[in-house]
């Protein structure tokens, strides 16, 4: 059996595994796809101490760093159930069961997509999901933000300081963002907010986004907006569906953790985007992976009889 079984091979899981292995604990990493969201990222400019890198390079570095330790990396394996049976048991999609004294959940999250034509084709070529990450790539250009909730309006305010103009498209007849954010957005000269707008298509020239089409749900009319970037802000979905009967989650499905990264189940820890951490970034996921791993170490030395 493992002492620490990490589920997830993104930045949170990699960091947790290295911290556990450095404590001399028998450590395993189970990942559906090692690298996580970082594999889908092109430019990364906010991983502190590395001025600029690419997702594929960072993933290769993460994997090399993890493999430098005695860690059992099990890639291309999906966890489907977690239970306690003396030890913790993690069941895999292929039916195998892994046993461990502690489990560290780092299964990340995925952006909710619009599911319109062009979105996949232009992902990373103008279609973006993270304003903190990709905002500066659109300096001086026109962009849209899809979604008028808190994250959408925050993104619009953030982007308006960098880009030439921001068009916010909200499906509903009113914005769901907090009043204070709406006031701030309305006070900025280069944000246009359009409600009852259903985005129908992302358009491009084969290489880059050039615009989008939307339907005005009040009139049924179709409209075109020319722009270089589209920030989709309609929610982040935590990869926690398989845990909902075993671990306490927020209504949005995020795993609730305490200051040591421990979940509602003693001995089960969690880190990164799958948790209720306030912000979702690589450096934050790595920090919380380290926290949860040290939390697991602490748990193991206090429960050594188990
Ligand atoms: P993830 O990276 O999501 O990794 C989750 C891991 O868990 C993966 O290995 C996955 O395969 C695995 N997994 C999921 N479910 C299961 C299961 N049931 N069984 C086994 N394994 C499972 N952040 C920045 O700081 N800077 C940036 O420039 C930046 N750009 C981004 C660009 C894009 C396009 C995206 C999508 C995100 C970007 N982010 C950026 C955010 C950043 O990637 C995330 O905050 C970070 O990757 C979260 O790390 P994580 O380890 O918690 O989860």
Q: What is the pLDDT of residues 243-258, one digit of tens each?
A: 999 999 999 999 999 9
Pick from 234, 277, 262, 290: which is nearest to 103 by CA? 262
Asked if 30 and 98 touch (Cβ cutoff 8 Å), the reply is: yes
- Of how many residues is the chain composed? 306
Asked if 112 and 235 touch (Cβ cutoff 8 Å), the reply is: yes
Model ipTM over 0.95 = yes
CA 21 to chain centre: 25
State whether the beta carbon of 46 lies less than 6 angstroms from ligand 1: yes
- For ligand 1, atom 47, the nearest C-alpha belongs to 37
State whether the beta carbon of 106 lies less than 6 angstroms from ligand 1: yes
State whether the beta carbon of 285 lies less than 6 angstroms from ligand 1: yes
Which sign does the torsion angle of CA 66, 67, 70, 73 carry? positive
- For ligand 1, atom 29, the nearest C-alpha belongs to 133
State whether the beta carbon of 34 lies less than 6 angstroms from ligand 1: yes
Q: Where does the pLDDT of residue 219 fall: very low under 50, low under 70, confident under 90, or very high at 90 and above?
A: very high
Closest atom of ligand 1 to CA, residue 35: 9
| Residue to mutate, 30, 42, 47, 107, ligand 1, most ligand atoms under 8 Å from C-beta | 107
- CA of residue 302 to ligand 1 center, whole Å: 31
State whether the beta carbon of 280 lies less than 6 angstroms from ligand 1: yes
Q: What is the pLDDT of residues 268-277, one digit of tens each?
A: 999 999 999 9
Taking residues 282-299, report their average pLDDT.
98
- For ligand 1, atom 30, the nearest C-alpha belongs to 133
The DSSP annotation for 258-276 comes to: -TTSB-SSTTEEE-GGGB-
- CA of residue 97 to ligand 1 center, whole Å: 24
**For residue 34, what are the contacts with CB-CB under 8 A and spacing of at least 6?**
9, 59, 62, 63, 73, 75
Q: How confident is the model at residue 305, as a pLDDT?
A: 59
Q: What is the pLDDT of residues 175-216, one digit of tens each?
A: 999 999 999 999 999 999 999 999 999 999 999 999 999 999
- For ligand 1, atom 31, the nearest C-alpha belongs to 41
Closest atom of ligand 1 to CA, residue 13: 51
| Residue to mutate, 6, 38, 54, ligand 1, most ligand atoms under 8 Å from C-beta | 38
Q: What is the pLDDT of residues 1-22, one digit of tens each?
A: 999 999 999 999 999 999 999 9
Q: What is the pLDDT of residues 60-115, one digit of tens each?
A: 999 999 999 999 999 999 999 999 999 999 999 999 999 999 999 999 999 999 99
Q: Mean pLDDT score of the chain, rounded to an integer?
A: 96
Closest atom of ligand 1 to CA, residue 128: 34
């Amino acid at each position: 059996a493992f002492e620490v079984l990490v589920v997830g091979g993104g930045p949170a899981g990699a960091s947790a595994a290295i911290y556990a292995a450095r404590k001399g604990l028998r450590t395993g990493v189970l990942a559906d796809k090692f690298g996580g969201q970082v594999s889908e990222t092109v430019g990364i400019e906010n991983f502190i101490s590395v001025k600029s890198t690419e997702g594929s390079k960072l993933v290769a570095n993460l994997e090399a760093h993890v493999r430098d330790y005695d860690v059992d990396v099990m890639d291309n394996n999906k966890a489907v159930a977690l239970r306690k049976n003396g030890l913790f048991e993690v069941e895999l999609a292929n039916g195998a069961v892994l046993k461990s004294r502690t489990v560290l959940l780092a299964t990340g999250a995925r952006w909710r997509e619009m599911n319109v034509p062009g979105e996949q084709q232009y992902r990373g070529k103008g279609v973006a999901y993270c304003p903190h990450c990709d905002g500066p790539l659109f300096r001086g250009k026109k962009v849209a933000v899809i979604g008028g909730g808190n994250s959408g309006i925050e993104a619009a305010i953030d982007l308006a300081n960098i880009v030439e103009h921001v068009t916010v498209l909200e499906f509903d007849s009113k914005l769901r963002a907090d009043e204070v954010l709406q006031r701030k957005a309305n006070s900025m000269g280069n944000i246009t907010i359009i409600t009852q707008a259903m985005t129908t298509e992302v358009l491009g020239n084969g290489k880059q986004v050039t615009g989008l089409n939307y339907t005005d749900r009040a009139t049924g009319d179709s409209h075109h907006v020319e722009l270089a970037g589209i920030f989709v802000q309609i929610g982040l979905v935590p990869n926690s569906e398989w845990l909902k009967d075993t671990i306490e989650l927020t209504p949005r499905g995020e795993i609730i953790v305490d200051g040591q990264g421990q979940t509602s189940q003693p001995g089960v820890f969690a880190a990164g985007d799958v948790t209720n951490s306030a912000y979702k970034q690589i450096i934050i996921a790595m920090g919380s992976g380290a926290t949860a791993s040290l939390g697991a170490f602490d748990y193991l030395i206090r429960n050594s009889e188990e």
